């Protein structure tokens, strides 16, 4: 076990709950070769190898997501996952769930339709920063405003990676990209601040160094009813780091370890990112607000009285076992 692995197991003692260590102790750190990887059953084995580069953090986030599925004991039969386009957009193709790889930026409105037409579904949106906050930015803020009951996992690699390293709304000032070869000069989005202002009920940020915290946040979001947003800062060694001379995936882990500061409850206005500065991580927002469908039902019931007919569940029982 390398030092880094040790580090990975011992991060943030102040913020770490030993009760959550089981998954890691059972598997990742177990030398017994007979042990089946517990996340394997959540993946489409017949689609491996995946397309992600060495050192990319997206696979790490999927591992944490799968562990959250175990920890939260969420009903997998009612779980659907929706992605947009981009490197993270490919997550939908690798998870063994009802999964939808939609169009660029439109994962959230697609997910909105899924959730509204069958309120019993648990719907996760899993996509990248460019997809969710640039081309899909309008949908992001409106879904947060409406408080649609969606769990949005935003893997933020600070760049458009699938298309070759162009500037994203999240690319930090002064970094270099293929479309800002002389350096980025436009300000970047602070996504937790944006979605909090728009109305999200749960907002957290971690890096791919914080594998257990990611799982925990996803599990917490599953328990919330409403628009939840988890940003995961993730390395892109191939396009962001190489161009900016920031090293490989391991270097990114060291950077995340050294520069991440856990500040649960930090005002989101203070968590904006810079190219080489501190990364404020933690759970920033956890509040209660009625979700869209709760408000819709209440409004219809109040206005229509006996004339209101609630939506029947489209499929009461699974068609297959």
Q: Which stretch binds other proteins (CB under 8 A): 22-30, 137-145, 239-247, 272-280?
A: 137-145
Contact, 84 vs 136, CB < 8 A?
A: yes
What is the spatial distance between Cα 197 and Cα 187, in angstroms, rounded to a whole number? 18
Q: Which of 55, 57, 86, 109 binds other proteins (CB under 8 A)?
A: 109
Q: Which of 25, 138, 264, 274 binds other proteins (CB under 8 A)?
A: 138
269 binds other proteins, rule: CB under 8 A: no
229 binds other proteins, rule: CB under 8 A: no
308 binds other proteins, rule: CB under 8 A: yes
x/- letters, 36..55, toward other proteins (CB under 8 A): --------x-xx--------
Report the b/e string of 258-275 with b at 16+ CB within 10 A.
Answer: ebbebbeebebeebbbeb
97 binds other proteins, rule: CB under 8 A: yes
151 binds other proteins, rule: CB under 8 A: no
CA–CA distances in Å: residue 222 to residues 60, 68, 151, 230 = 19, 9, 7, 11
Which residue in the block uniquely carries the two structure tokens 């001379």? 245
Of the pair 42, 229, the CB lying nearest other proteins is at 42
Q: Which of 5, 35, 40, 120 binds other proteins (CB under 8 A)?
A: 120
Handedness of CA 283, 289, 292, 297 (dihedral sign): positive
Question: In 3-state terms, the chain is what percent helix, strand and coil (to 5)?
Answer: 45, 15, 40
Least CB distance from residue 134 to other proteins, whole Å?
Answer: 13
116 binds other proteins, rule: CB under 8 A: yes
Upstream peptide bond of 20 is cis (omega within 30 degrees of 0): no
Of the pair 28, 296, the CB lying nearest other proteins is at 296
274 binds other proteins, rule: CB under 8 A: no
With contacts defined by CB under 8 A, how many residues of the chain interact with other proteins?
A: 49
115 binds other proteins, rule: CB under 8 A: yes
Which residue in the block uniquely carries the two structure tokens 């039969």? 77
Least CB distance from residue 186 to other proteins, whole Å?
Answer: 23
Residue 293: which residues within 8 A CB-CB, separation 6 or more? Answer: 115, 116, 119, 149
Which residue in the block uniquely carries the two structure tokens 């882990």? 253
Handedness of CA 220, 288, 292, 233 (dihedral sign): negative
Q: Which of 63, 99, 207, 238 binds other proteins (CB under 8 A)?
A: 99
294 binds other proteins, rule: CB under 8 A: no
Q: Which stretch binds other proteins (CB under 8 A): 224-232, 240-248, 277-285, 310-318?
A: 310-318
Of the pair 95, 279, the CB lying nearest other proteins is at 95
Q: Which of 105, 169, 192, 235 binds other proteins (CB under 8 A)?
A: 105
315 binds other proteins, rule: CB under 8 A: yes
**DSSP secondary structure of 244-311:** TT---HHHHHHHHHHHEEE-TT--GGG----SSS-EEEEEEEE-----HHHHHHHHHHHHHGGG--PP
Contact, 83 vs 107, CB < 8 A?
A: yes
Of the pair 36, 309, the CB lying nearest other proteins is at 309
**How are beta strands 79-83 and 98-101 bridged, if at all?**
parallel
Give residue 36's region: left, alpha or beta (phi > 0; psi -120 to 50).
Answer: beta
Q: Which stretch binds other proteins (CB under 8 A): 2-10, 72-80, 229-237, 253-261?
A: 72-80
Task: Catalog residues that contact other proteins under the rule CB under 8 A.
Answer: 44, 46-47, 77-78, 80, 82, 92-93, 96-103, 105-106, 109-118, 120-121, 138-139, 142, 296, 300, 304, 307-312, 314-315, 318-321
């Amino acid at each position: 076990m390398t030092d880094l692995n040790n580090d990975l197991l011992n991060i943030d003692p102040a913020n770490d709950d030993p009760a959550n260590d089981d998954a890691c102790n059972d598997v990742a750190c177990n030398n017994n070769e007979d042990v089946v990887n517990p996340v394997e059953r959540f993946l489409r084995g017949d689609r491996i190898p995946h397309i992600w580069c060495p050192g990319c953090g997206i696979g790490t986030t999927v591992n944490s997501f799968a562990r959250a599925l175990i920890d939260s004991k969420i009903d997998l039969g009612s779980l659907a996952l929706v992605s947009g386009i981009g490197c993270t957009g490919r997550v939908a193709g690798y998870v063994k769930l009802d999964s939808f790889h939609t169009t660029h930026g439109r994962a959230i409105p697609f997910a909105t339709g899924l959730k509204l037409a069958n309120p019993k579904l648990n719907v996760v949106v899993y996509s990248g920063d460019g997809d969710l906050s640039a081309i899909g930015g309008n949908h992001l803020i409106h879904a947060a405003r409406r408080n649609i009951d969606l769990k949005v996992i935003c893997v933020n690699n600070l760049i458009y990676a699938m298309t070759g390293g162009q500037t994203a709304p999240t690319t930090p000032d002064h970094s270099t990209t293929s479309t800002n070869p002389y350096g980025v000069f436009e300000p970047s989005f602070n996504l937790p601040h944006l979605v909090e202002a728009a109305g999200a009920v749960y907002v957290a940020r971690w890096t791919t160094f914080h594998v257990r915290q990611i799982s925990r946040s996803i599990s917490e979001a599953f328990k919330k009813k409403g628009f939840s947003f988890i940003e995961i800062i993730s390395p892109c060694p191939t396009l962001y780091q190489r161009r900016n001379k920031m090293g490989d995936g391991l270097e990114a882990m060291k950077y995340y370890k050294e520069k991440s500061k856990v500040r649960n409850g930090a005002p989101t206005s203070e968590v904006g990112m810079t190219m080489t500065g501190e990364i404020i991580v933690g759970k920033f927002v956890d509040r209660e607000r009625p979700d869209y469908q709760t408000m819709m039902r209440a409004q219809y019931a109040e206005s229509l009285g006996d004339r209101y007919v609630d939506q029947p569940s489209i499929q009461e029982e699974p068609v297959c076992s």
